[in-house]
Amino acid sequence: MFELTILGSSSALPTSQRYPSAHVLNAHERFFLIDCGEGTQMQMRRYRIRYGRLHNIFISHLHGDHVFGLYGLLSTMSLAGRQYPLNLYAPEAFGSLFRSHLLDFDVHLNYEINFIPLSSKDPVKIFEDKNIIAYSFPLQHRVPAFGFLFREKEKERNIRKDVVKTYDIPVAQIHRIKKGSDYYTADGKLISNKKLTIDPPEPRSFAYCSDTRYFSRLADFVRGVNLLYHEATFAGDKSKLATRTGHSTAEQAATVALEAGAHKLIIGHFSARYKNPDILLEEARSVFPDTIAADEGRVIQI
């Protein structure tokens, strides 16, 4: 399982249908909340993502449309009886800020928060478990902002069960063969690993870029990802406004996908001036055809 659920596709001005930025990545049943705009906890309930599954929250930058759902969510998880620690990755300044703000509102969490500050100006590993490695990388916005890259680890080779049977390979050897070893039969015959195994699936990857203005080095940070989420706040006729406010046009989002050699692009963080994302989608597809638009509740397999 490696899939992304969109909880919020709007930019700073939400509507009754579009919520501010929030996304859940399910990476092998480990759930990552990426940004936490107002209403995230209600959206999680709506799309049946259980609070208890959530152990990592990644905040890209300290603007309200990416953060203002966090206080309520943290508080709700406490009221719901959470006791497991939660890892919170966010720009450095947020560390003291969120704690004092919760206290201002008399919120005393009954679980620990491990705060992991984001500050590196280069791509850097911030998370690793047995299936996934996650990196942060810098974006260019009006305040310090970070993108995130999630890569599956290389998997072991898949054993061919028929061949195991033919050569009657003992279980003790299987582990070595999965790692790539050849096999010697009892009478000393070499069976090459190629005959014993088939290639594992390619490791998949997902990158998240919001909020950011276009800059050419961004493509290097997300090179070859299977799915690229990139903000597309504006259409191309607002490119000056995009640059001034530290945002991207749909065309620029698609350009990053193209330059990075991404397999698929999903655009989001739409300005409320667009009743629907059709014009943005059309613009992006003219540069990078395999583009889809974020929409509340949409689930994308990576």
Rule CB under 8 A: say whether 270 interacts with a second copy.
no
Q: Which of 26, 55, 92, 97 binds a second copy (CB under 8 A)?
A: 97
Within 13 Å, how many C-alpha atoms sit on residue 80's CB side? Answer: 15
Q: Catalytic residue among 65, 122, 168, 237, which?
A: 65
Of 85, 93, 89, 83, the residue nearest 70 (C-alpha): 89
Minimum distance from residue 262 beta carbon to a second copy (Å): 30
Minimum distance from residue 293 beta carbon to a second copy (Å): 20
Contact of 113 with 101, CB cutoff 8 Å: no
Sign of CA dihedral 270, 276, 282, 285: positive
Minimum distance from residue 136 beta carbon to a second copy (Å): 20
Contact of 270 with 230, CB cutoff 8 Å: no
- Closer CB to a second copy, 101 or 155, in the complex: 101
Residues 141-200 that bind a second copy (CB under 8 A): 142-143
Minimum distance from residue 20 beta carbon to a second copy (Å): 7
How many C-beta atoms surround the C-beta of residue 269 within 10 A?
30
Q: Which amino acid is at 26?
A: N
- Annotation says 35 is catalytic: no
What CA–CA distances, in Å, run from 123 to 139, 149, 217, 284?
10, 9, 11, 26
Residues 100-119 that bind a second copy (CB under 8 A): 101, 104-107
Contact of 207 with 148, CB cutoff 8 Å: yes
Q: Which of 35, 38, 211, 251 binds a second copy (CB under 8 A)?
A: 38
Rule CB under 8 A: say whether 123 interacts with a second copy.
no
**Interface segment toward a second copy; rule CB under 8 A; list 38-46, 119-127, 207-215, 285-293:** 38-46
**Interface segment toward a second copy; rule CB under 8 A; list 56-64, 126-134, 179-187, 258-266:** 56-64
Q: Which of 3, 30, 75, 117 binds a second copy (CB under 8 A)?
A: 75
Residues lying near a second copy in the complex (CB under 8 A): 12-16, 19-20, 38-39, 41-43, 45-46, 62-65, 67-69, 71-72, 75-76, 79-80, 93, 97, 101, 104-107, 142-143
Catalytic residues: 65
